[in-house]
Structures are given as C-alpha cells and as structure tokens.
Amino acid sequence: MDKLVIEGGIPLSGSIPIGGAKNAALPILISTLTCGGTHHFRNVPQLVDIESTLSLLGRIGCPSRVEATGDFGLGVELDTSRIAFSEAPYNLVRKMRASVLVLGPLLARCGQATVALPGGCAIGVRPIDQHLMGLEALGCVFKLENGNIEGRVKHLKGAEINLSVPTVTGTENILMAAVLADGVSVIHNAAREPEIVDLVRFLRSMGARIKGEGTSTLEIDGVPALRPAREAFSILGDRIEAGTYLLAALITGGNITITGAPVADMSSLLQHLRQVGAEIETGDDWIRLTSPEKGVPVSIETAPHPGFPTDMQAQWMAAMSLLSGSCIISEKVFENRFMHVAELGRMGANIRIQGPSAHVSGVDSLTGATVMATDLRASASLILAGLAAKGQTEVLRIYHLDRGYEKLVKKIKMLGGAIARVSTHSTLPVGSLRQELGN
C-alpha cells in the first residue's frame, strides 16, 4: 500500500487542467446499456471507479477499449451490442456504490436485472428506496433475495414520480429506464446536479426525448429504441476537482489558473471564495484564483445543487482552519461526514463538532503529522492541510484518492508543491522533497 508524503509551506502557483467529472462519467458509461452498439467517449478521467465500471460492463457482456489521450484523460470505446448477464454481483457493487445504476438500464433493455444491495458507506447510509419507488411506478416489480434486488418488468409505462428527496443516483436510475418507457414520465423533485444535465445531454445524443434538465422537474417522452451517438461524447469537467485545487491555492496563499473547469456550475463555491477575499477571474472554461493577503473565514451549509456541494465541505473546512476568526460549517446532506475533523485536529486545527455543524476557530499554523484518510473528500482535505502545514505530513490509506482525483501528485507538482507517493514502509528525510524541488 502507498502513502503520500508532503512538505508544506509552499504557495502553489501555475496552471493545471481539470479532468472529466467522475460523477458524470459513471452514469453516462452505464447508460449505454440502454442502447446496443458501439459508443465513443472523450475526456474520461483515469480513475479506479472508471476501471471498476468498465469491469462491471465487461462482466455484463459489453467489452471496452481504452486509450490515453495525452498526459491526462482517456478515450473509451464501449460495445454494448450484446448483454450476456443482467446482473451486478456484490464483489463489484461493494467496490463502488454507483454500480446500482445498472438497475434501470438493464430493466429497460432486458426486462430483468439482479443487483446486489450496496449497503452503507463511510459517509453515511445511502438507501435506494427512491430508486425502487420510481422504477415501480414505471411498472417494475422487485423482490429481495440473498442480499440481491431482483427486478422484472414486462412493459415500461410512463408515470408521474414524486421523489421525497432529490437523490442524484435515484434520479439517474429512473431517468435511464424512463427514456424507453411507453408514454410520458415526469420526475418531480429531481436532482439538479450538472452531472445529471450531462447525462441528459448524452441520452439526448442517442435519441432520447427529455426536457427540464437543471430544474427540479424532468419530463421524459419515451421512445421505442435509442441509437449510438454519431460523434464521440466529451465528459463534463469535474467541478469538485476544480474546487479542490482552488482551495489548495487558497490554503497555501498561492495563485493558480485551472482550465477545463465547468465555470457555470461552480457559482456557489466561487461566491464563497470571493467572500473569503480571494480574487476570482473566470472565462468560459477557466478560473484564476489570487489569494488574499488576509482572508476571512466564511460559514457554509451544504445543500443539493445549486447549493454548496457536500463534496467540497471537508476541503473548505481545511482552508478555513488557517484563517483568523471563526465560522460554522453545517453538513445537511450526509449524517456522518465529519470524520476528517479528528485528523485535522492532529495537525493543530481547532474544530468542535456540535450536531450537524462544525465550529472552526482559525489557528496561526498547522503542523505536519501522520494522518489517516477515511473517504475520498476527507483525503483531499488532509492533503490541503499538509500542503499548508509546517514540516512533513504523511497521509495514509490514500486508495480513496485513486477513486476521484486523476494523477493528483503530478498536478500538485506542476503547481510547485512538494509531494511524493511512496510505499507505506518508506521514509523520506524531512526537507528532501523541498531539496528535490529546488534542483
């Protein structure tokens, strides 16, 4: 197993590209199950979750071909002409909860599907009851047997579906089935995330009829069949990756430019960065951040899009921990997403949890320490803290990072950061990374 070693205190500067959004790529790749044929994609991020998705699709009977397209990103060719097995077993689902997204497309294409229950995860329980409720409204019947959801449908029919919460994956699962239903379906209280908008763009390129993306009401006029898109589809830029690097610049007092960013989808984060005091310049797909001489902490409350993203909460907390003053960070999406607090505390952060809120009092400096990542975004927050801390930080259990940040070490080095990925049992002399950077 590997760990990250970071020597902090270097302001990040320079320019880096932002990759394709994992949370857009996963449902888009899976949605090809609705349509037999060959599909082509560009700007697919090189991540473990992408590998897991392609492995799952391969097991179902849909082989893929992957090629690197420069230093970052992948081109993917996916052949869904034949579906051999309409099943997603537990050994694959347990690696990636998004595997449950095969349920809707398989039911639409094959009339049956068996998917292992995904269970909980490190940041809280994420039930799929809304998925099943919506699919049942379309005519599907389910039973639970041996830890699997077994679904069948004779004929998908359009329906009015009212979600009790705007679940992202629930909206996606129902949407991917409804595009092949007979008649019109309407999803009320649908999730509005940009990644769903990107999924709609792709489904529409295959001939689906969908209105209302980006709003809380999706209207789907089902079609008898879809066809592969005529051109390679380019995946949306990753707003969470983009935000993470902006905060890496802020916490180190740096100035960076990111390209390939979905600027229009990042308004909440950019607004809060301006409130901190950062100077933000933007173009159609680029953002430049100049850190303030003395920023002020800003409170946030996570919410579904277009609110402040829950996937940016941990990184925001790390950045606020070094600003003079105090703020409150309220987590309103997941019930167990403060596990990074204890690890930030090991580095000297002053954070107190009270119910769904964390009270952050800024400190003059953080100190390098050995810390352990608990999930993907917690990993990112500890890296940000390490980049700003005095001395050397070691981040353990970094396999989480490989799920959501493409070549993170390389990108941080491009910005001048002192960071290395080494074996867990390796040791590096303090100052060695800085020395290497200066050579």
Q: What stretches in the chain show pLDDT beneath 70? A: 119-126, 430, 434-439
Using one digit for the tens of pLDDT, what is the confidence trace for 243-260?
999 999 999 999 999 999
Longest pairwise C-alpha distance within the chain: 67
Tell me the pTM.
0.94
pLDDT reported for residue 337: 80
* Residues known to be catalytic: 121
Location of structure tokens 């100077």: 279
pLDDT reported for residue 158: 98
Which one, of 3, 7, 24, lies nearest residue 262 by Cα? 24
For the chain, the residue count is 439
Asked whether the bond before 306 is cis by omega within 30 degrees of 0, the reply is yes
pLDDT reported for residue 127: 76
Using one digit for the tens of pLDDT, what is the confidence trace for 99-155?
899 999 999 999 999 998 875 444 344 578 999 999 999 999 999 888 889 999 999
Establish how many alpha carbons lie within 13 A of residue 105's alpha carbon, considering only the half-sphere containing its beta carbon.
27
pLDDT reported for residue 125: 47
CB 154 within 8 A of CB 111: yes
The whole-angstrom separation of Cα 361 and Cα 346 is 15
